[in-house]
Amino acid sequence: MDPMSLMLFVVLGVLLVFMIFNSRRQAKKRQEAEAERQVKMVPGVRVMSRAGLYGTIVEFDAEDLTKPARIEIAEGVVVDLHAHSIELAPEESPDDEASDDDEGADSDLEVESADGTYTLNGEGVEKLPGSEDEDKK
């Protein structure tokens, strides 16, 4: 066997060992994350479904994941969701909330009307967007 073929087999063997080792490590991390998730899923905890629906756990059986989780999405409104479709709700930091408030202030429209012309966010316009012309009726 020539040295290049031997080198190729050694490199392939090292890659195979690395892939097996890495996949086992990833599987162990997933198992630990799932175990931690099940411990934290108790009634009263804020959760989010994979579809983006927020709510609070009313009932969750970590032992039998075939039973649906009961989630209260509004006062008195309880829905049943598959246990695997809910995750702990992401927590927002106070900085995130402050930046959201600033963005909301910029998106508010200010409309003033004088002499048949309009001022929309400080710009003069003859017609408001989305309004119909009276002549076309």
pLDDT digits (tens, 9 = 90+) for 17-51: 999 999 999 999 999 988 888 788 888 889 998 88
Query: Does the pLDDT at position 97 exceed 60?
Result: no
> Which DSSP category does 68 fall into?
P
Q: Say if residue 1's pLDDT is above 80.
A: no
| Residue 115 scores a pLDDT above 70 | no
CA 47 to chain centre: 11
Which residues, including other chains, have CB under 8 Å from residue 54's CB and lie 6 or more apart?
46, 47, 48, 73, 89
Q: Which range, of 28-32, 49-53, 65-69, 96-100, averages the lowest pLDDT? A: 96-100
Strand pairing class (77-81; 46-49): unpaired
Q: Which two tokens stand for residue 83?
A: 């246990």
**pLDDT confidence tier of residue 113, bands split at 50, 70 and 90:** low
Give the integer Cα–Cα distance in Å for 39 and 30: 14
DSSP state of 127: S
pLDDT at 96 over 80: no
- Single-letter code of the amino acid located at 13: G
CB neighbour burial string for 20-51, b if at least 16 within 10 angstroms, e if fewer:
eeeeeeeeeeeeeeeeeeeeebeeeeebbbee
